[in-house]
């Protein structure tokens, strides 16, 4: 017999406040991903002030998420909440933090290095970013399902893998364009385009890494 019903949530009534805090954390992951998309759009449109505003918002939310994650971690131990799944939840929180950190580093890298994105690559950069954001949004849906509706985790994880693969395809296409186009004369400029394509794609890579871990946790809860 399964230890827990697939349709029953992980949180008990005692842990409802913790659930609200975790929902806030997941919302911050979503918001940072959406802000990343807006930031890249602003950058590609040469709206640097708007880009820097979005970058600052991401930095602020990432800091809030760090504080929230530490508070949740303390409460899990101090109040002995969800003891059977505590280790898995802590691992999940740590890997989600990697998604936030990577999102922040993308915009910070753009802000510091200010790469000149060639017009023929702008659409690819935007599409790459959009697919990475979709991977993150599906990931947070999977995480929420893990706590509330376990049976729905897999459908969202499948979409994380799909969007991560699509991001890989666009990343490769973008890099091939950068290294074969006659419009880019300097090799260093080609490398710069490759670097930022890889930097953005890392957001989807981190989302997939969390998805892989979450899949294992879901199997354990279902045993």
Residue 35 lies in a domain: yes
Residue 17, domain member (yes or no): yes
Q: Is residue 3 part of a domain?
A: no
In a domain, 218, yes or no: yes
Write the secondary structure of the chain as one string of H (helix), E (strand) and C (coil): CCCCCCCCCCCCHHHHHHHHHHHHHHHHHHHHHHHHHHHHHHHHCCCHHHHHHHHHHHHHHHHHHHHHHHHHHHHHHHCCCCHHHHHHHHHHHHHHHHHHHHHHHHHHHHHHHCCCCCHHHHHHHHHHHHHHHHHHHHHHHHHHHHHHCHHHHHHHHHHHHHHHHHHHHHHHHHHHHHHHCCCCCCHHHHHHHHHHHHHHHHHHHHHHHHHHHHHHHHHHHHC
pLDDT at 184: 96
Is residue 208 in some structural domain? yes
Residue 16 has pLDDT above 60, yes or no: yes
Most confident among 58-67, 69-78, 140-149 (mean pLDDT): 58-67
Q: Sign of the CA dihedral 51, 55, 57, 61?
A: positive
CATH code of the domain in which 102 resides: 1.20.58.220
pTM of structure: 0.90
Within a domain: 7: no
User: For position 81, what pLDDT does the model report?
Assistant: 55
1 domain-assigned: no
Answer whether residue 5 is part of any domain.
Answer: no
Tens of pLDDT along 141-150? 999 998 888 8
Q: Structurally, how many domains does the chain consist of?
A: 1
What is d(CA 134, CA 196) in angstroms, rounded to the nearest whole number?
18
Domain extent for 37: 13-222
Averaged over 136-165, what is the pLDDT?
94
* φ/ψ of residue 169, rounded to 5: -60, -45
């Amino acid at each position: 017999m399964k230890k827990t019903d697939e349709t029953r949530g992980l949180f008990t009534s005692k842990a409802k406040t913790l659930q609200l805090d975790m929902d806030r954390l997941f919302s911050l992951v979503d918001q940072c991903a959406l802000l990343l998309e807006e930031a890249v759009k602003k950058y590609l449109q040469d709206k640097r002030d708007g880009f820097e505003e979005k970058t600052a918002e991401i930095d602020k939310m990432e800091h809030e998420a760090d504080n929230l994650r530490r508070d949740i971690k303390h409460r899990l131990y101090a109040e002995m909440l969800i003891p059977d799944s505590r280790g898995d939840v802590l691992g999940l929180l740590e890997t989600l933090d990697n998604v936030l950190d990577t999102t922040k580093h993308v915009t910070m890298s753009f802000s510091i290095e200010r790469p000149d994105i060639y017009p023929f690559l702008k659409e690819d950069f935007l599409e790459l970013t959009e697919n990475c954001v979709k991977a993150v949004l599906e990931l947070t849906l999977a995480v929420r399902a893990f706590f509330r509706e376990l049976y729905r985790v897999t459908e969202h994880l499948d979409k994380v893998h799909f969007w991560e693969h699509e991001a890989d395809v666009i990343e490769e296409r973008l890099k091939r364009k950068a290294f074969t186009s006659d419009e880019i004369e300097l090799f260093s400029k080609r490398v710069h385009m490759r670097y930022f394509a890889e930097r953005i794609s890392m957001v989807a890579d981190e989302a997939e890494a969390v998805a892989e871990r979450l899949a294992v946790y879901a199997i354990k809860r279902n045993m």
